[in-house]
Chain A
């Protein structure tokens, strides 16, 4: 009380302490995860683990609002002064670049940097260069000849600080795609190759002070940063954010219970859920997400190049069992389609169940065995690739069990989450079947269906081939392109069409969709202001650290 009165007196007399930080600011946020997640290049890395970091380190012309709740999926201007309305029948987008913004190395953000960044996106073979950004005039040529990429459809005028994109055709999701880390604006001299473990300077509120893929990273405030928009790039509450690699999910839970870390990336292991739900109820946050766990089957190599073999797996997989492995019905909902329930266009449908209809009820082993026999694949060797991380490893063991019961000779290979996601994408690894997941980049059905199943997402011999099944049907691609066009003017009609496309892809059985996941975050007792973005999940920069009470 006396302390408060003293502070009040000082404020009234105008003798406030010069260095007093505003309430909630300061401190170190300590995050923890099991491992690094591949390259630290924002134009190449396609993992949520790093997307969460990139949104604090880099900016695009536009971005998703860095806030919790429904507003988190709205697009706001970032390095651009405003979100433009497309002109020329949706073919032209003109941005004006903000002035006076600097990268963390002191360089000024210029229109040249914007042009360089978009050209680089093609040169480093960004995972969605072929599915999203090739809509820019010249993009197709850049895909074919990345090293001489000019990207004629991107015109910059340094005099007026304007950037103009000319598109080949209207694209309702172009702004969403510009808001992602792939379209981050990087310094002009950034090399045209995947930077691997070397962080690239950015314009965000934080910069990387140190990064070691085997131990962790440290982010500190960017000395050149000034807040131009609290929604686009908030200043952030913690002064320092650390990310430690190397603790198992079990150890992470214990460390958070003991107050050694503030937040963990991994899902809480199933055997700890009861404990945290009983003893640490206030530290648990459960949020619905657009996140699907699925089992891609490689349609280009045996045995799953045989549709009957795939159908056998579809009918045999018990989605409810997979839900149990993921922690039960409070965290996962069984599904047969690709789109999660909260995604526009979602239409419940399940042909691979007893009593086919809208929802999955039970596996149909009679049909599964029928298709297995028909496929002639009995006795074929299959290796299930999965991450060592829970619940994926457990789902991998369960999948192996189902495959063996069908008559395959199945084995399971669990690999580090550090390499798992890129390993299963690369066709050179001859992955037959794997366990993986997909969370939205932005809330549009194409972000699931177009990204995961279009011909353009499939690149042989590349770690950036997000169409893991290798499924490619030009007719379905054309329908998806049509749905995207329709969505420009008639979004509801387009959503119906997306639902129909989802059903078509489901029937082709390129992957077993298991369940859609809710996100459970377990945080330390000292973490305040937990904010969950539909886009980036937990927003570390908005977390406040409760200072230690002095004895």
Chain B
């Protein structure tokens, strides 16, 4: 007779992690994302030891050594009318101006790395803001119901009614001009906290509504009714019974919201109402590259490609998380 081997019982999170690790696409996405984050974190090292330039300072009259010759970072174009100045092109070698220069003579590769830091930081922190606010409002509205639910739902509907980019642009245009100054809360126009706040707020309804729906369902479940029956306090029920059942939904949303935020930040920065110069983000670099699209297209294409790769990776990771945490869920933004 063969003996049945007894496996130790696995918890919900361990099981989910196992499922995620087995998902090859999700793991490749994680790898890609880790690589991008590590590259972006290396920006100061790259600027100091590889590009040897300050990517935030104009270098219009600078020179660089290329193929043993000193060449201008912004040199005259070669044409019969002697018209125009062109930034130096990519060398495609690990060194100064690997991806060439932008119109201010700054190293594009170094700016891409610094820009990535800002883009990822803004989209990640804004996602945390969104998820915390959405989680709070969704849980409170769904669990307590009545007037509180009506008020929160009304506020979320009002926010939802605005086209999301129109709302983001309107808020940005107003706040970028003078910064945010409400009582003790003061945000400078050039502060990264400003795009974080704007982007963090605009997506709250998109997450809060499904969370509220989940909580409404949980509110009628037997274990919650039992807890109410034995006289547990509402906050205890929320903390012990509701939150653990909602947290997986929030986690599934996280990479999807980060991806959305990344796109929104890029759009705002492209319109000059996101990250403010001299700071860079992938959106501002695309904006800088717009005026060089005919001569140095790499300036706009490189950050665009990085955005595409990051967003695809985040979406695949989001799908992987959904499959791992709740395979029956049909969460879509």
Query: Is the pairing of A and B real?
Result: yes
**B83 pairs with A325, CB closer than 8 A:** no
**A398 pairs with B82, CB closer than 8 A:** no
Known: A328-B83, A390-B291. A405 touches B77 (CB 8 A): no
Give the CA-CA distance A350 to B150 in the complex, in Å. 70
Partner of B294, one of A272, A320, A327, A331: A272
Restricting to B54-96, which residues have a CB under 8 Å from any CB of A?
A: 56-58, 60-61, 74, 76-86
Q: Which of B78, B81, B290 has the most CB of A within 10 A?
A: B81
**A397 pairs with B58, CB closer than 8 A:** yes
A88 at interface (Cβ–Cβ under 8 A)? no
**B278 pairs with A271, CB closer than 8 A:** no
A301 at interface (Cβ–Cβ under 8 A)? no
A270 at interface (Cβ–Cβ under 8 A)? yes
**B60 pairs with A324, CB closer than 8 A:** yes
Restricting to B235-271, which residues have a CB under 8 Å from any CB of A?
A: none
**B58 pairs with A271, CB closer than 8 A:** no
Restricting to A303-345, which residues have a CB under 8 Å from any CB of B?
A: 318, 320-321, 324-325, 327-331
A436 at interface (Cβ–Cβ under 8 A)? no
How many A-B Cβ pairs are below 8 Å? Answer: 110
B189 at interface (Cβ–Cβ under 8 A)? yes
Give the CA-CA distance A330 to B79 in the complex, in Å. 12
Give the CA-CA distance A330 to B78 in the complex, in Å. 12
- Residues of A within 8 Å of B176, CB to CB, are 413
Q: Is the interface of A mostly helix, strand, loop or mixed?
A: helix
B170 at interface (Cβ–Cβ under 8 A)? no
**B189 pairs with A271, CB closer than 8 A:** no
Known: A250-B291, A327-B85. A321 touches B58 (CB 8 A): yes
Partner of B60, one of A275, A277, A398, A412: A398
Number of interface residues of B (CB under 8 A): 34
**B60 pairs with A284, CB closer than 8 A:** no
Partner of A397, one of B104, B177, B190: B104
Give the CA-CA distance A270 to B294 in the complex, in Å. 10
**A270 pairs with B85, CB closer than 8 A:** yes
Restricting to A49-108, which residues have a CB under 8 Å from any CB of B?
A: none
Restricting to A409-437, which residues have a CB under 8 Å from any CB of B?
A: 411-414
**B60 pairs with A278, CB closer than 8 A:** no
**B82 pairs with A400, CB closer than 8 A:** no
**A278 pairs with B104, CB closer than 8 A:** no
**B292 pairs with A271, CB closer than 8 A:** yes
**B82 pairs with A330, CB closer than 8 A:** yes
**A328 pairs with B80, CB closer than 8 A:** no
**B60 pairs with A330, CB closer than 8 A:** no
- Residues of B within 8 Å of A272, CB to CB, are 84, 294
Q: Min CB distance, A321 to chain B, in Å?
A: 4
Q: Which residue of chain B is the closest to A320 with respect to CB atoms?
A: B61
**A271 pairs with B295, CB closer than 8 A:** yes
**A398 pairs with B58, CB closer than 8 A:** yes
Give the CA-CA distance A275 to B97 in the complex, in Å. 23
B293 at interface (Cβ–Cβ under 8 A)? yes
Q: Which residue of chain B is the closest to A330 with respect to CB atoms?
A: B82
- Residues of B within 8 Å of A397, CB to CB, are 58, 104, 277-278
**A401 pairs with B57, CB closer than 8 A:** yes
**B103 pairs with A273, CB closer than 8 A:** no
**B84 pairs with A328, CB closer than 8 A:** yes
Partner of A271, one of B57, B60, B76, B291: B291
**A328 pairs with B76, CB closer than 8 A:** yes
B276 at interface (Cβ–Cβ under 8 A)? yes
**A270 pairs with B291, CB closer than 8 A:** yes
**A271 pairs with B296, CB closer than 8 A:** yes
Restricting to A462-495, which residues have a CB under 8 Å from any CB of B?
A: none
**A321 pairs with B276, CB closer than 8 A:** no
B23 at interface (Cβ–Cβ under 8 A)? no
Give the CA-CA distance A276 to B84 in the complex, in Å. 10
**A400 pairs with B277, CB closer than 8 A:** yes
Q: Which residue of chain B is the closest to A401 with respect to CB atoms?
A: B58
Give the CA-CA distance A207 to B276 in the complex, in Å. 44
**A412 pairs with B277, CB closer than 8 A:** yes
**A277 pairs with B104, CB closer than 8 A:** no
Give the CA-CA distance A299 to B58 in the complex, in Å. 26
B272 at interface (Cβ–Cβ under 8 A)? yes
- Residues of A within 8 Å of B74, CB to CB, are 324
- Residues of A within 8 Å of B290, CB to CB, are 250
Give the CA-CA distance A548 to B14 in the complex, in Å. 75
Restricting to A373-387, which residues have a CB under 8 Å from any CB of B?
A: none
Q: Which residue of chain A is the closest to B58 with respect to CB atoms?
A: A401
- Residues of A within 8 Å of B103, CB to CB, are 270-271, 325, 394
Q: Which residue of chain A is the closest to B176 with respect to CB atoms?
A: A413
Render B101-118 as a binary contact track against A, CB cut-off 8 A, 1 for contact: 001100000000000000
Q: Which residue of chain A is the closest to B288 with respect to CB atoms?
A: A397
A274 at interface (Cβ–Cβ under 8 A)? yes
A213 at interface (Cβ–Cβ under 8 A)? no
A496 at interface (Cβ–Cβ under 8 A)? no
Known: A272-B294, A324-B74. A331 touches B60 (CB 8 A): no
A230 at interface (Cβ–Cβ under 8 A)? no
**A277 pairs with B77, CB closer than 8 A:** yes
Known: A271-B86, A325-B103, A397-B277. A284 touches B57 (CB 8 A): no
- Residues of A within 8 Å of B82, CB to CB, are 277, 328-330
**A324 pairs with B85, CB closer than 8 A:** yes
- Residues of B within 8 Å of A284, CB to CB, are 81, 83
A505 at interface (Cβ–Cβ under 8 A)? no
**B278 pairs with A400, CB closer than 8 A:** yes
Give the CA-CA distance A105 to B149 in the complex, in Å. 64
Restricting to B267-286, which residues have a CB under 8 Å from any CB of A?
A: 272, 276-278
Q: Min CB distance, B75 to chain A, in Å?
A: 9
Known: A271-B292, A271-B295, A413-B177. A328 touches B61 (CB 8 A): no
A229 at interface (Cβ–Cβ under 8 A)? no
Known: A275-B294, A397-B104. A520 touches B177 (CB 8 A): no
Q: Which residue of chain B is the closest to A414 with respect to CB atoms?
A: B272
**B83 pairs with A271, CB closer than 8 A:** no
Q: Which residue of chain A is the closest to B81 with respect to CB atoms?
A: A277
Q: Min CB distance, B256 to chain A, in Å?
A: 33
**B278 pairs with A404, CB closer than 8 A:** yes
A9 at interface (Cβ–Cβ under 8 A)? no
Give the CA-CA distance A329 to B104 in the complex, in Å. 17
Give the CA-CA distance A61 to B292 in the complex, in Å. 47
Give the CA-CA distance A394 to B58 in the complex, in Å. 10
| Given A250-B291, A270-B103, A394-B104, 6 more pairs with CB closer than 8 A | A271-B296, A273-B85, A281-B81, A329-B82, A401-B104, A411-B276
Closest 8 CB pairs of A and B: A273-B84, A321-B60, A274-B77, A277-B79, A277-B81, A277-B83, A273-B83, A401-B58
Selected A-B contacts with CB under 8 Å, 11 pairs: A250-B291, A270-B291, A278-B79, A324-B60, A327-B83, A328-B83, A398-B60, A398-B104, A401-B56, A404-B278, A411-B190
**Chain B interface residues toward A at CB < 8 A:** 56-58, 60-61, 74, 76-86, 103-104, 176-177, 189-190, 272, 276-278, 290-296
